[in-house]
Amino acid sequence: MRDMTEPKIAARTPYVIECEPGTYAWCACGHSKKQPYCDGSHAGTGMVPKVEVLNEARKVAWCGCKHSAKKPFCDGAHRDLPQ
């Protein structure tokens, strides 16, 4: 079991993607191989994905650092993370 209190930083920039309407499961733990989306790698971490429903097609800036205050969306928190 990987009990985690802090997520792994998957990227230090957002994942900017043109998304179609639908339901998306954003990876909150940072371990998914299908970033920014969940692939089940959170099992045993104590973390769960954030499910987001998009009602229309739009460009989305998914948080890559996993530290945004507006999860699952980027709020620029990656700029303040220690190197």
Residue 31, domain member (yes or no):
yes
pLDDT at 51: 98
Mean pLDDT for all residues in the chain: 94
Residue 75, domain member (yes or no):
yes
Residue 6, domain member (yes or no):
no
Strands (E), 1-56: 15-19, 22-26, 50-54
The domain in which residue 76 lies consists of: 15-80
SS3 state at 6 = coil
> Taking the model in full, what pTM does it have?
0.92
Residue 8, domain member (yes or no):
no
Provide the CB-side half-sphere exposure for 83 (13 A, CA): 0
Residue 53, domain member (yes or no):
yes
Encode the chain (83 residues) as per-residue pLDDT tens digits: 455 678 999 999 999 999 999 999 999 999 999 999 999 999 988 999 999 999 999 999 999 999 999 999 999 999 999 88
19 and 52 in contact (C-beta within 8 Å)? no
